Structure 1
Amino acid sequence: MKIQGRMFIWLAVFILAMAIVYGVWSKEPVGTTALFLAFGLSIMIGYYLAFTARRVDTGAQDNKEADVADDAGELGFFSPHSWQPLSLAIGGALAFLGIIFGWWLLYFSLPVILVGLFGWVFEYYHGVNRTQ
């Protein structure tokens, strides 16, 4: 995490320099504001990563002698046969199409999104007092 923190802090310094040059050269407020906001976001992420790196153990990415397999581990549990992401994708696509073609399409996309979200959250829930 030390490397990532340094990278974001150096990125923030670069973006700050570019924001100053862009602001002086172009005198355009929107792009200058966007660059200063990008500087702020980069410095926040860099500070967080650098601060967290001091509090946690050294990771494999900070060890120059580490292999790729040293950082491998369990990534989490993923449902192998879940149809809920498809439902969410269809509902999300309909919602974005509603922004393009008309807000009335959101009335059709919201139930699809809610059914997909409900199904995904409670996919493995069987209840505490469920009888066989």
Structure 2
Amino acid sequence: MKIQGIMFNWLAAFFLVVAVVYGLWSKEPVGTTAFFLAFGLSVMVGFYLVFTARRVDTGAQDDKSAEVADDAGELGFFAPHSWAPLALAGGGIFAFMGPVFGWWVLYFTTPLLAVGLWLWVFEFYRGENQNQ
């Protein structure tokens, strides 16, 4: 994970140089802002990966003498099937239709979004997926 963090930090440095050069050369605010935002996003991802790499065990991707088979096996815990993302996606679709058809649509989508979010947050506190 450390290698990916370093790569994102190098990408952030590249975006910063490009943003400054592009901003001074073109004097166009939209593209310059986009490059600075890309710089900020790359810094955030790079910082997260480097910070997390310090707290977890060294993976096979950080070992230069590792084989492909060294990275095989269990990669972590992934949530089982869940209906909550479907409810959130449906609520999001209708919420983004609000500005198109009228803001009154949000009165009907807000409960759907709230229920979907509640289901997603508490899916491991009830039912067959409840942690013991």
TM-score class, shorter-chain normalisation, is: 0.7 to 0.9
* Mapped contact 2:60–2:70 kept (Cα < 8 A): no
The 2-side partners of 1:52 and 1:115 are apart by 32
- 1:26 maps to amino acid: S
| 2:23 corresponds to 1:19 | no
Q: Where in structure 2 are there 5+ consecutive unaligned residues?
A: 128-132
Greater CA drift, 37-46 or 5-14: 37-46
- 1:23 maps to amino acid: G
Deviation at 1:22, TM superposition (A): 0.6
Aligned residue for 2:67? 66
The 2-side partners of 1:3 and 1:19 are apart by 24
* Mapped contact 2:16–2:39 kept (Cα < 8 A): yes
Larger Rg: 1
Q: Secondary structure at the match of 1:58?
A: coil
* Alignment of structure 1 residues 1-132 onto 2, 5 Å: 1-64=1-64, 65-67=66-68, 70-73=71-74, 74-79=76-81, 82-122=82-122, 125=126
- 2:63 maps to amino acid: N
Deviation at 1:15, TM superposition (A): 0.5
The 2-side partners of 1:122 and 1:52 are apart by 25
Q: Secondary structure at the match of 1:90?
A: helix
Distance 1:105-1:68 versus aligned 2 partners, 3 A rule:
farther
Q: Percent identity?
A: 63
Q: TM-score, normalised by structure 2?
A: 0.72
The 2-side partners of 1:48 and 1:85 are apart by 25
